[in-house]
Chains A and B, each alone.
Chain A
Amino acid sequence: MSKDKGKTKEKDTGTREQFEKRVTRLGLSDDNLIGLYRTMCTVRQFEYMADRLYAGGKVHGTMHLSAGQEAVAAGISLAVHPDDYLINHHRGHGHFIAKGADINLMMAEFLGKDTGYNRGRGGSMHIADFQSNNLGANGIVGGGIPQAVGVGLALQMQKRKEICICIFGDGAANEGVFHEAMNMVALWKLPVLYICENNKYGMSMDVERATAKLPIAQRADAYGIPWACVDGNDVVEVYDAMKIAAEHVRSGKGPYFVETITYRYFGHSKSDRNLYRSKEEIEDWKQNRDPIMRFTKHLLQSEILDEGRAQEIDGQAEQVILKAVEFAEASPEPDLSTLMEFVYA
């Protein structure tokens, strides 16, 4: 896996027949498939808008965009229940959107407004929505991984049906707490689905320079946790793997670990000149492996969508984002008199 650093051919997602057979086997309806497409379009539109807003000086803080990784977010969200718990990491916009977040409130938070999910206190890196069991993103790499143990433990103690989805990056897997958490979660057979979103880099660090043995998911073996490593830019493959994993976890058999191989298009954060990877590499992923492009090709081929409808859906996604920007820009800043609020409950 992922040894192919040079020029690569378009990653094949199979023929029309293979795609249709797989979709039928998975019981995915046209509506499901169109929903996946819509989610991916919305995430991408959000991320490109975020980049534009930043470039236009409208955002003061930092941000981590997930363009290129949309299939992971979309695939997970269809495979799990809406009320499952989510523990997210800093590159979290896509996962929130896929979980059904209110884009207006996300955008408002991104612009630091009082109407935002975190009342402007958290920003891009900390969006949370406890009403929808979205337990928040983390600015400390790896910070959420061990917290998922506690969420899983509570779910088990309360005999609940929900599971905990914990998402983190390839870089985060090298924090020590990763190993502590894997051991405990396996030891207690907790209902946690760990998802390592491997986008090939932790900031500028190539996953192959940072990880003694790949795939990262094979580390789960050491703890007796079942695992899979899948093409994270193939939304149906992501869905397939997540479905199996989520069912395993929900059935009380304990944790599961899925690694998704994907790629981020933008720099790591706002101030990244991409010195650590080549333009060719970035272009290769964009031209030949783009998750939306690959999926769209199948949808067109299998006549689930036509060009017109595909563009219409993307246009609708864009409208949602534009409305969110309007909402966010019209929203008030937090009042200075509230500076001391929320420190203690």
Chain B
Amino acid sequence: MPEISYLEAIRQALWQEMKRDERVFLLGEDIGRYGGAFGLTHDMLDEFGPERVRETPISEATIVATAIGASLLGMRPVAEIMFMDFVMLALDQIANQAAKMHFMFGGHTTVPIVIRMPGGSGAGAASQHSQSLESVLMHFPGLKVVNPSTPYDAKGLMLASLRDPNPVCFVEHKVLYKTKGEVPEGDYTIPIGVADIKRPGHDITVVANNIMVMKTLNVAEKLSKDGIEVEVIDPRTLLPLDTETIINSVAHTGRLLVVHEACLTGGWAGEVIACVVGSPAFDYIDSPVRRLGGKDIPIPYNRGLEKFAIPQEADIEQEIRALVEGKI
């Protein structure tokens, strides 16, 4: 299987689906000649032309609203929000409009749109260009929130999102764009709403998303040498959340830690923990259930501060050790 980057994997999915389904088109800022702020749509303008790689003025609310309107007539638009932070400018269209239309209109219409948005810190882009807002988007029934951590998942989930009849927020991570992994060249989908066990283990379940999956896997590898076997679960989709896989895992390991980059307070870890402790797995839990999240601060510009605003591998390791060794 060819090894390609996370960024290329998403691009390949868009490319292949645009070849397969002419209703699919892209719209967003600087996605044409510039190739998108992170280069994800490079050369797509040449291949598909300005009709289907449609550059817009800087108007996020109307970008998303245009996608909604076009989808009502059977198009399959993919809107790009350059940085996830700017999704706040389009939140009315996402939360009050797209998420609710199928329901409000008695099931008579669908809004099959995909809204792509890279989030996360690590680029020195400061407080308004570095947030992880996926937890915010989970609060709107009718939306789906997809959040892949590997190139393989990214392509399969993008193809699934493009074919889903519901509005999908496709949350990417800037720091993951360059990471590589094996990705089949052909067509495949990964079902939305199904978690993936990235590493099996029996001592503790760690649920993590996007870059925290990578970090947790590194920690798990290290701890394995000390005889601690960590089961790493990547939900891959935050809404709907695959609680079953998580609950089954905790029933088996007896311990749970949830790790995300998003601010701790109001973060999706709380949702996972609530589901687990309210389930029959509660009877199997041997230690406090814990969560590790970004600090409850805006992301700072300074490199040193920026780094420590979000969980580091050392923090994850420390938490896992404390839980497994019964020190908490």
**Would B123 and A61 count as touching, CB distance under 8 A?**
yes
**Would B34 and A333 count as touching, CB distance under 8 A?**
no
**Would B58 and A171 count as touching, CB distance under 8 A?**
yes
Alpha-carbon gap, A143 to B129, bound state (A): 13
Using CB atoms, name the residue of chain B closest to A275. Answer: B33
Q: Which residues of B sit under 8 angstroms from A211, Cβ to Cβ?
A: 57
Chain B contact residues, majority secondary structure: loop
Alpha-carbon gap, A138 to B34, bound state (A): 23
Using CB atoms, name the residue of chain A closest to B60. Answer: A175
B side interface size, CB within 8 A: 37
Using CB atoms, name the residue of chain B closest to A204. Answer: B34
Indicate if A122 sits at the interface (CB-CB under 8 A): yes
Q: Which residues of A sit under 8 angstroms from B308, Cβ to Cβ?
A: 336, 339
Q: 8 Å CB contacts to A: which residues of B117-131?
A: 123-129
Using CB atoms, name the residue of chain B closest to A114. Answer: B302
Q: Which residues of A sit under 8 angstroms from B29, Cβ to Cβ?
A: 202-203, 205
Indicate if B221 sits at the interface (CB-CB under 8 A): no
- Asked, given contacts A61-B301, A120-B300, A339-B309, whether A204 binds B33 with beta carbons under 8 Å apart, the answer is yes
Total of A-B residue pairs, C-beta within 8 Å: 122
Q: Which residues of A sit under 8 angstroms from B2, Cβ to Cβ?
A: none
Indicate if B282 sits at the interface (CB-CB under 8 A): no
A side interface size, CB within 8 A: 39
Question: Closest Cβ of chain B: how far from A331's Cβ, in Å?
Answer: 11
**Would B57 and A334 count as touching, CB distance under 8 A?**
no
**Would A123 and B34 count as touching, CB distance under 8 A?**
no
Q: Which residues of A sit under 8 angstroms from B231, Cβ to Cβ?
A: none
Give 1 or 0 for each of A119-152: 1 = CB within 8 Å of chain B CB. Answer: 0111101100000000000111111000000000
Using CB atoms, name the residue of chain A closest to B34. Answer: A204
Select A204's contact among B30, B62, B295, B298, beta carbons within 8 Å.
Answer: B30
Using CB atoms, name the residue of chain B closest to A118. Answer: B301
Alpha-carbon gap, A340 to B297, bound state (A): 7
Q: Which residues of A sit under 8 angstroms from B298, Cβ to Cβ?
A: 121, 343
Taking Cβ atoms with an 8 Å cutoff, the residues of A that contact B are 59-62, 112-113, 118, 120-123, 125-126, 138-143, 171-172, 174-176, 202-205, 209-211, 275-276, 333-334, 336, 339-340, 343
Taking Cβ atoms with an 8 Å cutoff, the residues of B that contact A are 29-30, 32-35, 37, 55, 57-62, 85-86, 89, 123-129, 295-298, 300-306, 308-309
